[in-house]
Chain A
């Protein structure tokens, strides 16, 4: 057997063993990871709409009014069969990587809650957006995301005007505010057209 074939065979065998081991570990962990993700999603949905609601995946699509905000998936929030709000899973470009968040919108056009799902913002600065102990209003103990609750979607949503920005993280603050506004406008638009159901 010439040298180069021998090298290829050895490398091939080691690669195959490694691949086999990984396939085994993946088989064991994949269902656990999937269950975790589903649990996370349900937990997230009931965090932006706490209470006795049913969540249904929305089959249609909505167009985002802001060009750099994209909508990943949309959920209808129902109570006793009636549409009371919507949750939009939206992505907005952050300081380091896209920030993914859930935005809950009430039927009357106010924001019900915001939760960040994925972000890679700077720890201690932009990452404070999802820190439950970082208060933008220390006296009232309002977190950065907490301040969106109850805001009307007709508000400007501009940091340092009607939104209190996170210290040292204007890009993150702007990215989140923009996505919340876009999701709010799109969801309200849909709900006011849909009428009764």
Chain B
């Protein structure tokens, strides 16, 4: 039960995007199309989960003064591996999102979780935290991408769903709409959480 709570924590109560509100720049950048968001989710989860596990495994040997440089080395290593592997085996896909994959290095969610959780907790708990945070990040960016692509391009993951005469609102796939949709989602979640609290 306690273990499940660690995973659930990342999905809603401490959702990295909607509640903690960190790592927002890449959220705005990759959510214009569902395909980009999906691929970013994979790269992000790969790097976050493995980095948390490794940081947790070596935490006893990390001197306090240089923990941040060490986190960065670990994260950069996994990011580069993710980039090399996707370049070699999914070239078309990599071409579309290589910039975002490389930017995972400086994603503050990952360094934040390494510092706040993996550095202080065991390997298994860190693994669960990584999984929970990854799901939390993924569902939010995919939800934003579905809304933006639907209204901005009339498609979902490249498949036409809007009627033929639908005039796409270009602004939805430009960066400003990333903030707009994100703001609406944050508001919606807060409203729901408040309502639940009031019921109690």
Contact = CB atoms under 8 A, between A and B. Distances in A.
Q: Check if A and B associate.
A: yes
Interface of A: 6-7, 10-11, 14-15, 18, 21-22, 25-26, 28-29, 32-33, 36, 40, 118, 120, 122-125, 168
Given A36-B88, A124-B152, 14 more contacts: A7-B65, A10-B70, A11-B70, A14-B74, A15-B73, A18-B73, A18-B77, A22-B80, A25-B85, A29-B85, A32-B88, A123-B32, A125-B170, A168-B170
B70 A14 contact: yes
Contacts of A29: 84-85, 87-88
Contacts of A36: 87-88, 91
A144 to B, nearest CB: 16
Give the secondary structure class of B's interface. Answer: helix
Nearest to A15: B73
Interface residues of B, number: 30
Contacts of A10: 61-63, 66, 70
A185 to B, nearest CB: 29
A6 B91 CA distance: 42
A21 B61 CA distance: 19
24 contacts: A7-B65, A7-B66, A10-B70, A11-B66, A11-B69, A14-B58, A14-B74, A18-B74, A18-B76, A22-B81, A25-B80, A25-B84, A26-B84, A28-B88, A29-B84, A32-B89, A33-B87, A36-B87, A122-B174, A123-B32, A123-B33, A124-B152, A124-B173, A168-B170
B73 A33 contact: no
B174 to A, nearest CB: 7
A123 B37 CA distance: 13
A131 B87 CA distance: 21
B8 to A, nearest CB: 32
B174 A124 contact: yes
Contacts of B84: 25-26, 29, 33
A3 to B, nearest CB: 8
Nearest to B96: A123
Q: Lowest 7 A-B CB distances belong to which pairs?
A: A29-B88, A32-B88, A124-B173, A18-B77, A29-B84, A36-B91, A33-B88
Contacts of A22: 77, 80-81
B134 interface: no
Contact of A40 (B65, B73, B85, B91): B91
A34 B63 CA distance: 40
Nearest to B32: A123
Contact of B81 (A25, A32, A122): A25
B81 A21 contact: yes
Contacts of A6: 63
Contacts of A168: 170
B99 interface: yes
Given A124-B152, A125-B170, A14 B73 contact: yes
A168 B80 CA distance: 35
B138 interface: no
